[in-house]
Amino acid sequence: MEIYGNKEAVKRLSEYRANGRMPHSLLFFGDSGTGKRTLAFYTAMLYLCEKGGDTPCMKCLNCERTEKRIHPDVIYVDGEKTSVVQLREILKDSYGASVEGGIRVYILSEFQVLNRECQNALLTHLEEPSDMVRFILTASNKNGILPTILSRTALIRTYPLSPRECETALKKEGISGEEAEKTARTYKGNLGLALKALENKNTRLYFAAVREYTEAVLKGDEYFALRAFAKLPQTKEDKREPVRILVTETAKLFHDALASAEGGKPSCGCDVELAKRLAEKYPPAVLNELCGITKRFSDIVSSVYFNTKSASDAFTAGIFDKVKK
């Protein structure tokens, strides 16, 4: 596992380990695409590595399985796709013995999108931590996280690379020189977003549709918003995937807008300036309602079969019902 950038984060983790003070819970927070998930699995290796050094050996069975994401005692939870019922069911196992008799590690991704009820479900485990359980959270920002959770968690920030560093990393990942340079510059050193765009050639078109949809919300033009859905590039594998992407990415933009309106830093959506414009136009109460709608639809389109047109129409009707009040 290679970690690009985030040298201070890696140094801090090594110091925790060398001093025998690895926290029971950590939160990696920073812009989407800045290596939080990679650091989370790196930290899981630190907890489980059989060599016990201040960096994972990367060679023992525990390290190898954690890197491949097949270790039975490393449980990954996607916050964007998890309800409070599901989370409680997952966390029930934390009271029992791990599969292999050692430490069990929970990685909770995109934690800031989980509602208050979900976060309270975790809080009970943080208040009386088990010696055999560790929690690693990742979040695009801290604004949506309960202060009581933050106070019980070691906080480590992640940062994008410089465009030059990002270009070098892309070349190591097999991207040609000219394309690596252009992509690194386009995504301002954000390696995660750069790789995502290169892996899926439609990514830029999806992000453009998200921006177009949000512009329609700013203008109060419901017809124009529905056109953004109609123009989404289709995939042969799953015709529902474009709708899932637009809904989940719009959810991130509204979350950023709420963060900005409350004095925080927008950091998880695809357009910071657009989030700020939303924050200028709509009060926090409206933005909070928009976040609720987009989160609810994100759950729906992520977990069940749905008719794309009906979902698009219902989603848009819900959004414009709030902004036109």
Gap between the Cα atoms of 316 and 294, Å rounded:
10
- List Cβ neighbours of 137 (8 Å cut-off, separation of 6 or more): 25, 26, 27, 28, 107, 108, 111, 145, 149, 153
> 248 and 146, same structural domain?
no
- Please compute the mean of the pLDDT values over residues 63-84 and round it to a whole number: 91
> 122 and 84, same structural domain?
yes
Q: With CA atoms as reference, report the closest residue to 294 among 273, 265, 323.
A: 323
- Please compute the mean of the pLDDT values over residues 296-306 and round it to a whole number: 73
User: What does the angle CA 94 – CA 97 – CA 98 come to, to the nearest 5 degrees?
Assistant: 80
The answer to whether position 1 is within a domain reads: no
Q: How do residues 264-279 score in pLDDT, each as one tens digit? A: 877 666 678 888 999 9
3 state SS of 30: coil
> 143 and 28, same structural domain?
yes
CATH code of the domain covering residue 272:
1.20.272.10
The answer to whether position 265 is within a domain reads: yes
Q: How do residues 141-152 score in pLDDT, each as one tens digit? A: 887 789 999 999
> 312 and 220, same structural domain?
yes
Q: Where are the alpha helices (H) located in 231-304, listed in sequence order?
A: 241-261, 272-281, 284-303
The answer to whether position 291 is within a domain reads: yes
Residue 58's pLDDT band (cuts 50, 70, 90): very high
> 289 and 184, same structural domain?
no
Query: How many separate domains does the chain show?
Result: 3
The side-by-side arrangement of strands in the sheet containing 104-109 is: 74-78, 104-109, 133-139, 25-29, 154-157
Q: How do residues 146-203 score in pLDDT, each as one tens digit? A: 999 999 999 999 988 988 899 999 998 888 888 888 788 777 788 987 887 777 667 7
> 108 and 13, same structural domain?
yes
> 153 and 117, same structural domain?
yes
> 248 and 188, same structural domain?
no
The answer to whether position 261 is within a domain reads: yes
pTM: predicted TM-score of the whole model, two decimal places? 0.66
> 319 and 270, same structural domain?
yes
Element (H, E) at 137: strand 133-139
> 77 and 206, same structural domain?
no
Last residue of a domain, one of 176, 197, 218: 197
Domain encompassing residue 289: 201-323
Last residue of a domain, one of 173, 197, 221: 197
- Please compute the mean of the pLDDT values over residues 96-107 and round it to a whole number: 87
CATH code of the domain covering residue 118:
3.40.50.300
- Please compute the mean of the pLDDT values over residues 109-133 and round it to a whole number: 86
